[in-house]
Amino acid sequence: MVDVSSNTDVTVIGAGAWGTALANLLAEKGHVVTLWAYEPELAEQMAADRVNSLYLPDFPVHPNITPTSDLAIAAQPATVFVSVVPSHTVQGVWAELGEMIPQNALVISATKGIEAESLTTMSQILEATIPGEKKATVAVLSGPTFAHEVSRKIPTAIVTAAAERTIAKRVQHLFSTAVFRVYTNTDVLGVELGGALKNVMAIAAGVSDGLQFGGNARAALITRGLAEMTQLGASMGARAQTFAGLSGMGDLVLTCTGELSRNHTVGMQLGQGESLEVVMQGMHAVVEGVTTAVSAVRLGAKYQVEMPIAESVDALLNGRITPREAVTSLMTRALKQEDI
């Protein structure tokens, strides 16, 4: 089993804002960190200027971090890997990287999403992609976290999940600091679904805010969004109580209300009348809720769970309805008893 005491070699795969923030956090704890960037020019710029000017420009890259765009270099020194690439690239990146990692590595997924074609979570993709003979251990990290706030050392709580609690505790000790509190869980599926599905609900909340519907509508969307997430998760075998925790309710509230939420921002601009094409042209980071919406709808159909908010978001994103039509559709559904 991998030791995660001080001076562990860690590779962070993905140099977006969140990947860079996690790399800095680990480096400040004394770990030797390699940060892999997809863009060679970004890796070179970080190495030269010691700042991620593209995704996290307001914070220096810690001296303990070595940036690279070479997967072979990223794989060499590490015993722990943190995967923070966008959900649609996880399989491609790890199909190559998985062949290179050492035996018995600990791989921690910090990507929030659901693969569109297979409807699998990120940890399931990792487990299917990394060769079995590597005997890698997979855990996940999720919860209400904005990279800028973590980088500013604002108190933050997050959750790590693994099938075995001993693994989750190792991840807990790897990341925990005086301002970054990590809880453990063994409901891997529930933690991952919460982190992925809340992005869809955040788009809906953004649309509501863009239409200037106010606090009543936002509260209703958050509450009923949580109900959709919980019902789907329970039908898939996750624990319902997980969705009341940090990766469910916690992350849902943050992304539905926080000004730094990309998904909420996309929804707000759609509510204000912008087209999806124009909105996405203005975003230089991945907006996971846009790709997760169709996955949420397909999962609802597969497990026979009503997903009216997710269905409305998917229809809006695909141009089948307008923002106001989406609201009308939700408000005029058949009356029913509240259930969670």
Q: Give ∠ CA 267-182-88 in degrees, rounded to 5.
A: 45
Residue 336 annotated among the catalytic residues of the structure: no
Query: How many C-beta atoms surround the C-beta of residue 180 within 10 A?
Result: 19
Whether residue 183 contacts residue 156, with contact meaning beta carbons closer than 8 Å, is answered with no
Distance of CA 190 to the CA centre of its chain: 13
> What would you report as the CA-atom Rg of the chain, rounded to the nearest whole angstrom?
20
- What's the CA dihedral at 159, 161, 165, 170 to 10 degrees? -70
Minimal CA–CA distance to 331: which of 306, 304, 315, 312?
A: 312
Residues in the chain: 340
Cα(93)–Cα(109) distance, rounded to whole angstroms? Answer: 13
Token pair 């309805």 is found at 321
Q: Which two tokens stand for residue 163?
A: 């099938």
Whether residue 122 contacts residue 90, with contact meaning beta carbons closer than 8 Å, is answered with yes
Cα(31)–Cα(175) distance, rounded to whole angstroms? Answer: 10
* SS3 call for 4: coil
* SS3 call for 174: helix
Whether residue 236 contacts residue 299, with contact meaning beta carbons closer than 8 Å, is answered with yes
Q: Which of 112, 169, 198, 302 is catalytic?
A: 198
Cα(12)–Cα(175) distance, rounded to whole angstroms? Answer: 13
Positions marked catalytic? 198
